[in-house]
Amino acid sequence: MQAWRDRLSAKEIEGLADYIQSDLMRIQLSRTVMQLPQRLKQGEKIYQQNCSVCHGDYGQTGVWTRSSMGKSAPRNFTADASKSKLDRSRMIDAVTHGKPGTAMMPYSSRLSPEQLGNVVDYIRVALMGFPLEQIEKEATQTPQAEIGSEQVAFRAKSLPDNLLGNPQEGRKLFVRNCVPCHGVKGDGDGPRAYFITPKPRNFVSEDTRRALNRPKIFNAVSNGLQGSVMPAWSKVLNNQEIANVSEYVFRAFIVGDYKGVSQQEPNEAIEKKN
């Protein structure tokens, strides 16, 4: 194999590599699909009709979404991070209810529970590379009817490192730091929200209530969210303070069993500060 760097530009070499890779992937994927059971072949058709435009034909994220959406681009299913983080129930929940604050829409009104399971299992076998035997076993162990109980368990998860949040103290932190973007009602309609893209999280939407639990809120507050203006508050707050505000957000907005912030409190806090 001779060196082509003296005859082709870096851009031409990159384009050729992409072509060879995509062509080989197309052939490999075609062979994989041919060997799949019928329900996963149906999943492949659903994926091509509904998902490939954003996630790409081979699950690597579509070229146009990768270039136009940057860090907020749709999930790359072939990445090691996706393979380690995404289990079957989490993927079914995302396809069913969508992902708030992203371009991922809910498909529960367009696809049956069986079809949702089929497309998720197709992604896990053909694009993520999990063995078919494992996927069939998962489908038996976590049928769609059990997703509701898994949602209950998801919501019940505790804060990391055995931390216990104090919602009363967290409420004070929320007023001082979070209201400008998320609003007193937690609906993402704070005074700064008008100038922010993408919009701050709406904690009281049904999609968000399904997507967040204590650990997820803690992680978002601590590390921030890529592709948004949400900063990493671990540079300002200690872990206990983050636990406190996470507990307040969870109790006041996700569960709704704790008193929220009044319209007057942010102004009162500003007056005290001044």
Domain residue extents for the chain: 37-155, 160-273
Q: Given this model, what pLDDT does residue 18 score?
A: 65
d(CA 192, CA 231): 14
Do 37-155 and 160-273 come out as alike in CATH topology? yes
Contact 114, 144 (CB under 8 A): yes
Domain boundaries 37-155, CATH class? mainly alpha
Cβ burial, residue 177 (10 Å; 0-12/13-18/19+) = middle
Which parts of the chain register pLDDT below 50? 27, 145, 269-271, 274
The residue to which tokens 């969508």 are assigned: 98
Q: What is the pLDDT of residue 248?
A: 96
Q: pLDDT value at position 245?
A: 97
pLDDT score at 271 = 47
pLDDT at 118: 92
Contact of 173 with 237, CB cutoff 8 Å: yes
Sign of the C-alpha dihedral computed for residues 50, 54, 56 and 60 taken in this order: negative
Q: Quick one: how many helices (H) and strands (E) in the chain?
A: 15, 0
Which of the four CATH numbers 3.40.50.1820, 1.20.1250.20, 1.10.760.10, 3.40.50.300 does domain 160-273 have? 1.10.760.10
Q: 100 and 211 in contact (C-beta within 8 Å)? A: yes
* pLDDT per position as a tens digit, 123-182: 999 889 899 889 888 888 755 545 555 667 778 899 999 999 999 999 999 999 999 999
DSSP secondary structure of 58-117: TSS--HHHHHHHGGGPPP-TTSHHHHHH--HHHHHHHHHH--TTSS----TTTS-HHHHH
Two tokens, residue 209: 């209530």
